[in-house]
Structure 1
Amino acid sequence: MTHAYSESYLNNAKDCLSSFFDYAINDCKLKPDWITALFINTGYAEQFERGNPAYVAGMSGVELARAVITKAYGPKELPAPTNAEDCSPEYWAGWAVAEYQWFTGRRFKDIFERIPLSKIIGMYSVYHEMDITSFIDTMEELYKAAEGDSNLKRIRENRGLSQAELAEQSGVNLRNIQMYEQRVNSIDKAQANILYKLSRVLGCNVEDLLENPMM
């Protein structure tokens, strides 16, 4: 699995995102799924998920939350952080999601579309004392269950082609197409010439076939 950015920034990223969610939800009283929408729509999520040092290491979580809220709503007075002594479910969720995003290299937009932050916070009681790998495994199960059809299958069916017809017209092995559509093999790791052949027949851009077109 290709990680989102250098592991040297991971602890900073986890500290930042955990404080971000804790402050935005518990102090600023924003709903969990609304703050993730603001995080994504203001562009800060994209910088964070790419491991931009200015965001994952150069800002505290409170500073990031204030930057997101200010960009979304304009200048406004925001509360001081309470710095609660106990680790809140919201703090844990930020910590865990930061590791999951780094581990998988997925976009926050794709993660939260499939698994809302409110649902992740609800996982706190079961997973907060477990090894992080248990959380990651469960997130992967939830993510894949929510994915639906692959982009390749959706576009192929929209063009009215069977797998066999696509294989014949593109010159790509039928079994390869089946494996990509079933996500047994990642189409994101397919050779460029295979992606080109498929996109040419399907009349789409190569990027339209990818499941995680970041980096």
Structure 2
Amino acid sequence: MSAYDESYLQPARANLGHMLEVATDDLGFGLGEFHGMFIASGLAARFGAGDYGLITGCSGAELAFHVVEEVGLPRPQRSEVRCRYDRGPEYWCGWALARYQWKTALAFGAIERFAPVEDVVLLYDTYHEMDVRHLDDWLDARRRNYFARTPLRMRRMAAGMSQSQLARESGVPVRSIQQYEQRRKELNKAAAETVVRLARALFCSVEDLLE
């Protein structure tokens, strides 16, 4: 089920692309920094739910200004925004993510978890001239991989332990356990002592935890 009526999709894609373009090219923010601000401001949730005031009721530049204001920074001057006729990686990134968010109805914050905007923008050279559905396939694969249960997570859940409990029993920091379970760090590349501690705490072999 899509997030809102398809008739608003094209202006939504243009606005999100223009917002990121203005934020990075004109206002001097880093792409990941500003996208994080967009999510934290609450405007991403409204945009993703189909708030027509944000999708069609303002320009991408105005949307960027709204984000800045919502996080408590001084409002930029309109004169800081330049006119441009070409579209670069940041615009494409917003344009593509808006479509994926519409298609899946996932929150932008959820998409950011498995496909950080700074990873997506690196795909510009490969994907920007392709059918956007190829990028959808890439995002879907990242999503499946992110939410798939790792051996560590399955063993921990089978033992009835929380991440905090496992951290106490093993001596491995809870943050590291989270990163291993989310595949943001590879347990296969961890220090042998770390894997041994986890295996002992879970009463399993080291091999049971490796992928």
The alignment's TM-score, normalised by the length of structure 2, stands at 0.69
Indicate the residue corresponding to 1:106 in structure 2: 106
One-letter amino acid of the structure 2 residue matched with residue 127 of structure 1: Y
Deviations 1:91-129 (A, max 9, x none): 011110001111111110000121111111110000000
Which structure has the bigger radius of gyration? 2
CA distance in 2, matches of 1:77, 1:132: 32
Indicate the residue corresponding to 1:5 in structure 2: 4
Indicate the residue corresponding to 1:68 in structure 2: 67
Contact preservation (8 Å) 2:115, 2:143: yes
Three-state SS of the structure 2 residue aligned to 1:106 is: coil
One-letter amino acid of the structure 2 residue matched with residue 18 of structure 1: G
% identity of equivalent residues: 31
CA distance in 1, matches of 2:12, 2:117: 17
Indicate the residue corresponding to 2:86 in structure 1: 86
CA distance in 2, matches of 1:106, 1:19: 21
Indicate the residue corresponding to 1:142 in structure 2: 142
Q: Where does structure 2 lack aligned partners over 5 or more consecutive residues?
A: 162-211
Three-state SS of the structure 1 residue aligned to 2:137 is: helix
One-letter amino acid of the structure 1 residue matched with residue 23 of structure 2: A
One-letter amino acid of the structure 2 residue matched with residue 132 of structure 1: V
CA distance in 2, matches of 1:141, 1:159: 29
Indicate the residue corresponding to 2:43 in structure 1: 44
Indicate the residue corresponding to 1:131 in structure 2: 131
How many residue pairs align between the two structures? 157
Three-state SS of the structure 2 residue aligned to 1:123 is: helix
CA distance in 2, matches of 1:38, 1:88: 21
* C-alpha deviation, 1:86, in angstroms: 1.4
* C-alpha deviation, 1:73, in angstroms: 2.9
* C-alpha deviation, 1:159, in angstroms: 8.1
* C-alpha deviation, 1:148, in angstroms: 4.1
CA distance in 1, matches of 2:36, 2:103: 22
One-letter amino acid of the structure 2 residue matched with residue 62 of structure 1: A
CA distance in 2, matches of 1:102, 1:10: 7
CA distance in 2, matches of 1:130, 1:101: 19
Deviations 1:128-159 (A, max 9, x none): 00001111111111122122439xx88x9288
* C-alpha deviation, 1:32, in angstroms: 1.1
Indicate the residue corresponding to 2:177 in structure 1: none
- The alignment yields a C-alpha RMSD, in angstroms, of 2.1
TM alignment of 1:141-180, pairs within 5 A: 141-149=141-149, 157=157, 160=160
Indicate the residue corresponding to 1:16 in structure 2: 15
